[in-house]
């Protein structure tokens, strides 16, 4: 893998971290659409900050499950999930339009993100809602055949990401948060891991084996302890190593 530039994205408007401190290190903002967290005020503030810092805006859609922060599976039929996704994107789109900005992509959140990688019906519901609104919207999704083929059939452009602070299983999926050490917190360790991935295109899995991770963006979780320090370390070390920080859409 040879990259001259890399995108840094973070989940924002969830009212769960210091968003304002993260923006200087980002090129893409996954703005929570108010269902798993946040709300209209947080969304508006996030869009305004993205404009101020020249950060690309994306819709961060999730299950309507604020109690669990959208991190547990919710059983939904195709029509219900399609409508939920459609409504969330439009909620943010209305705010983006009023601010004179542009929405460029969609990234599902938490349990929904992982579910669409393995569930054809839920994948179709999310993809079809996005395609109906704007087939030019890119989708930031897991690297699985189910979601890739579903999105491709709908004419959507698929982008994958590398999770800077999450441990990986040997099969390439994330170690569940319920397992100890699934989330990394040391800023230096995280940034060193990012540079190793950028240089090699692979990362050590939880069992020590090397696995390939194909991605054009790096996810920086904004709601974890030390998130700002990690973001700053990743940004500075990537820049020092000669990588330009910018959206994949600008490449």
Q: What is the pLDDT of residues 44-81, one digit of tens each?
A: 999 999 999 999 999 999 999 999 999 999 999 999 99
Structural domains of the chain, ranges and CATH numbers in brackets:
5-250 (3.20.20.370)
The reported pLDDT for the residue numbered 2 is 66
Percentage of the chain lying above the pLDDT 70 cut: 99
Q: Using the predicted structure, report yes or no on whether residue 118 has a pLDDT greater than 60.
A: yes
Q: Using the predicted structure, report yes or no on whether residue 1 has a pLDDT greater than 60.
A: no
The reported pLDDT for the residue numbered 44 is 98
The reported pLDDT for the residue numbered 97 is 98
The reported pLDDT for the residue numbered 226 is 85
Rounded mean pLDDT of 80-92? 98
Percentage of the chain lying above the pLDDT 90 cut: 93
The reported pLDDT for the residue numbered 225 is 78
CA distance 84 to 75: 13
Question: When comparing pLDDT for 152 and 223, which is higher?
Answer: 152
Q: Using the predicted structure, report yes or no on whether residue 141 has a pLDDT greater than 70.
A: yes
Rounded mean pLDDT of 41-46? 98
Rounded mean pLDDT of 157-181? 94
Q: Using the predicted structure, report yes or no on whether residue 39 has a pLDDT greater than 60.
A: yes
């Amino acid at each position: 893998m040879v990259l001259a530039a890399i995108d840094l994205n973070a989940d924002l408007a969830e009212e769960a971290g210091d968003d304002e401190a993260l923006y200087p290190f980002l090129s893409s903002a996954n703005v929570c659409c108010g269902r798993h967290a946040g709300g209209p005020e947080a969304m508006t503030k996030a869009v305004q900050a993205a404009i101020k810092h020249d950060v690309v805006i994306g819709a961060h859609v999730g299950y309507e499950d604020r109690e669990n922060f959208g991190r547990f599976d919710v059983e939904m039929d195709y029509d219900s999930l399609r409508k939920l996704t459609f409504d969330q994107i439009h909620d943010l789109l209305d705010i983006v339009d009023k601010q004179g900005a542009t929405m460029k992509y969609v990234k599902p959140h938490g349990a929904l993100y992982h579910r669409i990688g393995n569930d054809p019906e839920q994948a179709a519901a999310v993809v079809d809602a996005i395609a109906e609104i704007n087939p030019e919207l890119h989708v930031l999704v897991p690297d699985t055949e189910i979601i890739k083929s579903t999105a491709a059939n709908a004419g959507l452009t698929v982008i994958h990401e590398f999770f800077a602070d999450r441990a990986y299983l040997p099969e390439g999926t994330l170690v569940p948060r319920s397992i100890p050490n699934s989330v990394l917190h040391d800023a230096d360790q995280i940034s060193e891991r990012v540079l190793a991935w950028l240089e090699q295109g692979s990362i050590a899995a939880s069992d020590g084996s090397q696995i390939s991770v194909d991605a054009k963006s790096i996810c920086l979780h904004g709601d974890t302890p030390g998130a700002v320090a990690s973001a700053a370390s990743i940004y500075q070390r990537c820049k020092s190593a000669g990588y330009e920080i910018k959206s994949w859409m600008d490449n």
